[in-house]
Amino acid sequence: MCAQEQPADTKKRRPTRAIFYLCAILLGIASGLSEIALLQNFALFVSDIFIKIFKCISLPIIALSLIVTLSQYNADAKMQRIWQSALKYTISTTLIAAFVSFFLYLLIAPNNITAQSFSTTADPFATPKGNYIDFLSHLVPESIFSPFLDHHVMSALLVSLILGMAIRYIPIAESRLAITHFFKGAHGIFLVITAWVVKIIPIALYGFIATTVTQLKSGMDMSGLGGYLSVVVLANLVQGFIILPLFLLRYKVNPFKAMRGMMPALSMAFFTKSSVATLPVTMETAERQLGVSPKVSRFVLPLCTAINMNGCAAFIFTTVIFLMQNNGMEISLVTMLLWIVIATIAAIGNAGVPMGCFFLSASLLTSMDVPITLLGLILPFYAVIDMLETALNVWSDSCVAKVIDVKDKVTL
């Protein structure tokens, strides 16, 4: 009875919710276009507050979702298939995204930026020295709490996987049951908080949209960057509107219906620029709109959020090759193919937070002693790029979860 009545209730609430979303978008655009400093500062304050809220609840949800899932399900053949499928689809879609950017780079062939278009007198931001090996070494935390204090997604994922698997091997049944109930209760608390936050999402959209419009109003010099930006943007669009829909069609899933159903999560990802912050909305939308079972969504989506970075792989490859080219380094076909692999690995290890790909690219370039001054020209455009990347990442996560759910139901 309840399951049958829920769609009717959803239909009643949908027009009112849509009105709130529309009002938030229009007010955000108006505030961003206005010259009223008070409105712009208020929008910036609102966006900062909600980013902090999302970061506060997203990482515990990732950790608790994995712990609860792994502690409740035995390592039977079905769960092994889900795990293997998640890894296979995540790595393959991210690798394909890097290949798409590779082919587009060859096709568009961006020109170098002229020396007069940028200044080499100072670095616009500081990037710590180090290499990707150092980055990977930080996956092992110094304490069990440090990943959550430092908001290191991959370390938290590692800790959660170990805890979830270790719970199943506790020899005393009462202790195993007690710790499982504890994590289930903690997970329930954050789901309740997430439901509260979802209800005030229009306020967050107002702040994000107004702040984005204000940033876009600042002066931007397109000279020499058109080809580079075309590669990055087209790579995201091709992956999102061609590659992933074909992936869904292969498993007889309607891509248009799936994209329309995931629109609340995709719009939130677009404006928050954080797939980790959007995770609660992604899980809820995938379960309600796409019919993905909670068993699959609460295991696959947190995993994909941490390692499935289609947009990031395209950005890292294009940015690294473009800056190497502009600094006079030889770019051979072998070099580009090698960077497809490196960009894929780097994207998988990237944290799903705003500007994560940008600073990861800067770190990779710095480790090779490549000057990163040109990133100062890319930075004003990165707000839009980051929004496209994040929406693509969440869309890819949703596609992987839906396909795995379809395969899981077929094997029942």
What does the radius of gyration of the chain's CA atoms come to, in whole angstroms?
22
Mean pLDDT of 118-132: 43
Measured at the CA of 350, the angle between CA 198 and CA 234, to 5 degrees, comes to 80
- Quick one: pLDDT at residue 99? 95
CB 282 within 8 Å of CB 272: no
| pLDDT reading at 410 higher than 80 | no
CB 205 within 8 Å of CB 265: no
Mean pLDDT of 137-159: 74
| pLDDT reading at 122 higher than 50 | no
pLDDT tens for each residue of 207-259: 877 876 776 666 544 556 788 999 999 999 999 999 999 999 999 999 999 99
| pLDDT reading at 411 higher than 70 | no
What are the φ/ψ torsions at residue 327 (nearest 5 degrees)?
A: -100, 20
Question: What span, in angstroms and rounded, lies between the C-alpha atoms of 207 and 202?
Answer: 9
| Coil/strand/helix, residue 115 | helix
| Coil/strand/helix, residue 295 | helix
Q: Which CATH number fits domain 19-410: 3.40.50.1860, 1.10.3860.10, 1.10.510.10, 1.20.120.160?
A: 1.10.3860.10
C-alpha 198 chain-centroid distance: 18
pLDDT tens for each residue of 273-314: 777 778 888 998 999 889 998 888 888 888 787 677 888 899
Hey, what are 282's tokens?
Answer: 């992604």
Mean pLDDT of 75-103: 82
pLDDT tens for each residue of 176-203: 889 988 988 988 888 788 778 767 878 8
Higher pLDDT, 18 or 36: 36
Question: What span, in angstroms and rounded, lies between the C-alpha atoms of 90 and 310?
Answer: 9
Domain ranges of the chain: 19-410
Sign of CA dihedral 32, 38, 41, 43: negative
- Quick one: pLDDT at residue 120? 41
| pLDDT reading at 14 higher than 90 | no
CB 61 within 8 Å of CB 190: yes
Question: What span, in angstroms and rounded, lies between the C-alpha atoms of 314 and 340?
Answer: 9
